[in-house]
């Protein structure tokens, strides 16, 4: 193989170039590690997006529950008060 730094022909078994001292195999390992780190960072980003989406969905559910609570309790209460007022108005005539 050829040195990635100076281009000199070196033996495959020799990882460090005898001409410039450049570590060819070490550089390849670093590149592979960099690729793995990039993959992990992408996965972390995906997980962060999933977590943030889940949090938003939970907030939506909480908002919907509050809406349901309002419809189930506040709306009948309003009708009850309305009919009580109507009843007293009709009774006082």
Interaction site with Zn ion (CB under 5 A): 3, 5-6, 8, 17, 19-20, 22
Choice between 20 and 81, CB closer to Zn ion: 20
Q: What minimum distance in Å lies between the beta carbon of 21 and Zn ion?
A: 7
Residues 6+ apart with CB under 8 A from 26: 15
Choice between 16 and 81, CB closer to Zn ion: 16
Q: Single out the residue of 55, 45, 62, 3 nearest to residue 27, CA to CA.
A: 3
Choice between 21 and 76, CB closer to Zn ion: 21
**CA angle, 5 then 10 then 12, to 5°:** 110
């Amino acid at each position: 193989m050829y040195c990635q730094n100076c281009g000199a022909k070196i033996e495959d078994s020799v990882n460090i170039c005898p001409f410039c001292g450049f570590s060819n195999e070490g550089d390849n390992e670093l590149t592979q590690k960099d690729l793995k780190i990039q993959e992990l960072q992408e996965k972390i980003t995906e997980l962060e997006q999933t977590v943030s989406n889940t949090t938003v969905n939970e907030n939506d559910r909480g908002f919907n529950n509050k809406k349901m609570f309002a419809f189930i309790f506040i709306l009948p209460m309003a009708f009850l008060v309305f009919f009580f007022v109507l009843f007293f108005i009709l009774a006082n005539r």
